[in-house]
Structure 1
Amino acid sequence: MSDEVAHRMCEICGNRTARLPLRGGGSLTQCLDCGHLTRDLAAAPAAHRDHAYGGEPTLDVWRLALTHRLLTKGGTPPRSVFEVGYGSGALLRRFLNDGARAAGTDPDQLEVDVDPVVRERAELYDVPIEQLAATVDPVQLVYGIHVLEHVLDPMRTLRHSADLLAPGGVVQFLTPAGDSDGLRAYGGAWWMLEDPTHVRFFSAESLRRAAASVGLVDVRVTRPALDSLVTDVASLARLTRPRKRPHGVLAQRSVLAAGLASAPVVLAARALRPTLRPTLHLTARRPG
């Protein structure tokens, strides 16, 4: 790494950080110990989209099913869940359909409509989890899908999540992998940088340390092969055809089609080299 001029201290481990220049321009701030990355949005190149949501409805349906299976390991669903950043409530709806008691909090970053069944049957809060003051009944599972990269304070988010768990309950989070090969390969064109509200990227090490520091045990960080399958194609499109896209690169049907067509090749490459996978999956448990 060049230009090792210390910035602020790492928000996860408290150690020294340095500027990490990115291919194509721009930079992130990287912890020299745990590899955690943070992003100054004010200084970021204006190559991001206008809104936090940059998905595609058809892909979202498939991803929802895969994520639900990942969270439940394909087994018996939990009897109670709490979602950090529930968005449209589509995943909470799945758990409600399983017969679970469901709750969640969301400050409405995505600006999307909430499933009416979820709004009626789930216990919902409209504030960031760091500001959640209401008493919530303990649950078996607390989870967040691509939310830790957005929150005001990741340590408080994890601490609140641990506090919401019943003894022996499990917390699970999916978040972009700042230590993936994609960031190094695509630099500022990496698709995970297109979201204007992504302010940090965990490494596997920083995510492990963060979970352990709030008292969680049996901490495990893996790299799911099936999450964010279009990341590479979307990143390549941003790299080779850089321009402002208000609605994001996946709004282009040609990019989406290429992403779907390349999925088998992407999966094969990720099987051979797991660090190509752009997502980290944290699983940990509250003692008890």
Structure 2
Amino acid sequence: MSYRTVGQAPDITCEVCGAVVRGQAIRGGCVVERCERCGHLERDLERCPADHRDLAYGGEPTLDRIRLGLTYRELVRDGVPGRVFEVGYGSGSMLRRFLDDGARVGGVDPDQLGIGVDEVVRERGDLRVGGIEDTSGLPGDQDLVYGIHVLEHVVDPHAALRSSLELLRPGGTASFLTPAGDSSGVERYGAAWWMLEDPTHVRFFTADSLARAAEAAGFVDVEVRRLLLDSLSVDAASVARAVRPGPRPRGVLASRAVLAGAVASIPVVLAERALRPRSRPTLQLLARRP
């Protein structure tokens, strides 16, 4: 990536690897804090504001259902795990899929979105309210612990990953999806990049920093992938933010015109992602407890 370095106090270090962090100006006047070693991005809202949205959620329900379906297929590609735990379960939609397929489910969520939880999941799942970093007494016998776009929000990603490790049985698997701070979208769209629209996105892992964080938490067999099919609306939403900036309390995808553009652009987006993997905006961490 090509950035312009701006003023930064010399004693600020990367939350992942401890190397020097520099303020980097990206297109549109936004400044992010970038690690010189692993490329990890941290975000101060005063230097890189969300501007257009005040809510934590700014997606679109139909697109989210499609994304959850694709993600579920990825999570069960080796079979449905017996015990599953979701970090940030939201409405419980994903847990309901696991439950319907015979898994025992649990999860933790700070109720950040204030949305209703599926009644069947609420009745039959082991659900906790709070953050994964500070919730104690959780069962440590899970086959799968996962989180879908969670690590970019948490207060302490190291504590979140360590707690996730402790939830797993020996040999159990963790899977986390998170926006890619080293995707080409950061340079292409700058401050208009849709992942910056959410004011609670306080960090963006790179493939390097995500692998480092997982290994530091004690995981083994760490693999980081760039997902082809996740967040297919990012490019259209980013273009819309760049072309017509302005307040959108519900987020740019609340616009039917932007949503239609996102759907129409999918073939082009998929072609570019196939040819240029770095254009994919989502990383998937796969790792195992020893």
Query: TM-score, length-normalised on structure 2?
Result: 0.96
3-state SS in 2 of match to 1:221: strand
- Which amino acid is the alignment partner of residue 16 of structure 2? I
Contact 2:88/2:147 (<8 A) preserved: yes
Contact 1:48/1:196 (<8 A) preserved: no
Superposition pairs for residues 13-28 of structure 1, below 5 Å? Answer: 13-28=17-32
Pairwise CA distance, 1:4: 6.2
1:71 and 2:87 matched: no
1:160 and 2:163 matched: yes
- Distance in 2 between residues matched to 1:107 and 1:135, nearest whole Å: 15
Contact 1:77/1:98 (<8 A) preserved: yes
Contact 1:48/1:193 (<8 A) preserved: no
Aligned to 1:264: 267
Contact 1:7/1:18 (<8 A) preserved: no
Pairwise CA distance, 1:38: 0.5
- Greater mean alpha carbon deviation, residues 269-278 or residues 133-142: 133-142
Any idea what the Cα deviations from partners look like across 1:119-142, whole Å, max 9, x if unmatched? 101001110011101232410000
Superposition pairs for residues 211-250 of structure 1, below 5 Å? Answer: 211-250=214-253
Aligned to 1:273: 276
Select the residue among 26, 51, 54 that pairs with 2:55: 51
3-state SS in 1 of match to 2:95: helix
1:194 and 2:217 matched: no
- Distance in 2 between residues matched to 1:93 and 1:120, nearest whole Å: 11
Select the residue among 69, 81, 84 that pairs with 1:81: 84
Select the residue among 118, 121, 125 that pairs with 2:124: 121
1:182 and 2:185 matched: yes
- Distance in 1 between residues matched to 2:180 and 2:118, nearest whole Å: 29
Contact 2:185/2:193 (<8 A) preserved: yes
Pairwise CA distance, 1:52: 0.6
- Distance in 2 between residues matched to 1:220 and 1:46, nearest whole Å: 31
1:106 and 2:109 matched: yes
- Which amino acid is the alignment partner of residue 30 of structure 1? R
Any idea what the Cα deviations from partners look like across 1:14-56, whole Å, max 9, x if unmatched? 1110001121112110110010010112443352312111111
Aligned to 2:38: 34
Going from structure 1 to structure 2, the CA distance change for 1:118 and 1:234 (only over 3 Å counts) comes to same
- Distance in 1 between residues matched to 2:90 and 2:270, nearest whole Å: 28
3-state SS in 1 of match to 2:6: coil
- Which amino acid is the alignment partner of residue 70 of structure 2? L
- Which amino acid is the alignment partner of residue 151 of structure 1? V
How large is the Cα RMSD of the aligned pairs? 1.1
- Distance in 1 between residues matched to 2:45 and 2:109, nearest whole Å: 21
1:90 and 2:93 matched: yes
Query: TM-score, length-normalised on structure 1?
Result: 0.97
3-state SS in 2 of match to 1:234: helix
Aligned to 1:251: 254
Aligned to 1:286: 289
3-state SS in 1 of match to 2:98: helix
Number of matched residues? 286
- Which amino acid is the alignment partner of residue 188 of structure 1? A
- Which amino acid is the alignment partner of residue 85 of structure 1? G
Contact 2:138/2:167 (<8 A) preserved: no
- Which runs of no fewer than 5 residues in structure 2 stay unpaired? none
Contact 2:52/2:246 (<8 A) preserved: no
- Which runs of no fewer than 5 residues in structure 1 stay unpaired? none
